[in-house]
């Protein structure tokens, strides 16, 4: 297992031009334990400008940090067929962005139902399959993120149902450690499908250990399932993100080392 850092950890700084992408890369490169970066689509300012994308790719090469996942934002929870079709158009457009940046993984959200989760579930699955097919045809791994806040994939039973309906040969799970309503049990139950991991962190103690998310059993179950991908640090809180990324990253790196011994 390896550690990456998500641009989401510096969300406001990047959106408000308080930090450039180059500064983000530069910061990440100061830590030996960070082996890649993850970029949110919203942090790519000119995604349809070939010259801009070439500059971003050059940053990856300059700092030795590949972009390990494109965190694309989408929603297959619309009741409107027109809106759902527009989401597929967006997937196709952003697949070209991911190809230009040589990104191997592409995130999809199942989304948030407009009205009724159960009634809209079949339509969500239909469009999720179509979106996944577009990504797979481009040679990338599809990672679907579990997400609460009223989403289709709020708990682990939802994720199990999704894999029953879609198949693990089509999609993998973007396991977000902080997004399950059923928390640790949900992570342990679904870790086997992981194609990418968001190592969510909100608060830490003096040792860098998260206060609300129990990482040792999570890292252990990932190791038991022979997960060899990235754990992407995703800080969501009000403190200075640089210190959180440093402290939590060291803690997470120690947990990975424990499992490799």
Both structure tokens of 43: 């942090």
Which residues are within 8 A (CB) of 175 and not within 5 positions of it... i.e. 6 or more apart?
Answer: 146, 187, 190, 191, 193, 194, 196, 197, 198
Instruction: Give the pLDDT band of residue 149 (cuts 50, 70, 90).
Output: confident
Q: How many CB atoms lie within 10 A of CB 223?
A: 17
Whether the predicted pLDDT of 148 surpasses 90: no
Query: Which residue, among 240, 24, 236, has the nearest Cα to 147 in the 3D structure?
Result: 236
For residue range 237-247, list pLDDT tens digits in order.
Answer: 999 999 999 99
Q: What is the pLDDT of residue 2?
A: 98
Question: Which of the four pLDDT bands, split at 50, 70 and 90, describes residue 105?
Answer: very high
Contact by Cβ (8 Å): 245, 5: yes
Domain that holds residue 186: 2-260
The reported pLDDT for the residue numbered 165 is 98
Q: Which helix (H) or strand (E) holds 125?
A: helix 117-137
Q: How confident is residue 216, by pLDDT bands cut at 50, 70 and 90?
A: very high
Residue pair 129/165 in contact by the 8 Å Cβ criterion: no
CATH number reported for the structural domain that contains residue 93 in this entry: 3.20.20.150
Residue 92 has pLDDT above 90, yes or no: yes
Domains contained in the chain, number: 1
CB within 8 Å of 97: residues ≥ 6 apart: 41, 44, 47, 48, 53, 70
Q: What is the pTM of this model?
A: 0.97
Please give the Cα distance from 204 to 9 (Å, whole number). Answer: 14
> For residue range 8-54, what is the model confidence (pLDDT) as tens digits?
999 999 999 999 999 999 999 999 999 999 999 999 999 999 999 99
Q: How far, in Å, are 4, 88, 196 from residue 38 at the CA level?
A: 7, 22, 10
> What are the counts of helices (DSSP H) followed by strands (DSSP E) for the chain?
9, 8
Query: Is the pLDDT confidence value at 176 over 80?
Result: yes
**Would you say residue 261 has pLDDT above 80?**
no
Confidence of residue 111 (pLDDT cuts 50, 70, 90): very high
* Confidence bin at 78 (pLDDT 50/70/90): very high
**Distance from C-alpha of 166 to C-alpha of 106, rounded to nearest angstrom:** 17
Count of Cβ atoms closer than 10 Å to residue 126 Cβ: 13
Element (H, E) at 194: strand 194-201
């Amino acid at each position: 297992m390896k550690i990456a850092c998500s641009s989401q950890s510096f969300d406001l700084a990047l959106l408000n031009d308080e930090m450039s992408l180059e500064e983000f890369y530069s910061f990440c490169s100061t830590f030996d334990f960070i082996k890649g970066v993850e970029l949110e689509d919203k942090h790519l300012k000119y995604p349809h400008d070939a010259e801009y994308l070439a500059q971003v790719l050059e940053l990856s090469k300059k700092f030795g940090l590949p972009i390990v996942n494109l965190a694309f934002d989408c929603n297959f929870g619309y009741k409107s067929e027109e809106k759902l079709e527009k989401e597929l158009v967006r997937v196709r457009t952003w697949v070209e962005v991911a190809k230009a940046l040589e990104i191997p993984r592409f995130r999809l959200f199942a989304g948030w139902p407009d009205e009724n989760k159960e009634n809209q579930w079949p339509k969500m699955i239909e469009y999720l399959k179509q979106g996944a097919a577009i990504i797979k045809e481009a040679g990338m791994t599809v990672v679907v993120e579990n997400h609460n806040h009223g989403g289709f994939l709020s708990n682990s039973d939802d994720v199990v149902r999704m894999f029953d309906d879609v198949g693990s040969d089509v999609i993998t799970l973007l396991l977000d450690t902080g997004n399950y309503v059923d928390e640790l049990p949900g992570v342990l139950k679904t870790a086997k499908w992981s194609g990418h991991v968001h190592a969510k962190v909100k608060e830490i103690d003096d040792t860098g250990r998260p206060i609300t998310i129990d990482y040792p059993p999570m890292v252990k179950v990932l190791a038991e399932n022979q997960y060899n991908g990235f754990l992407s640090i995703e800080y969501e809180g009000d403190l200075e993100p640089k210190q959180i990324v440093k402290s939590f990253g060291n803690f997470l790196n120690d947990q990975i080392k424990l499992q490799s011994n």
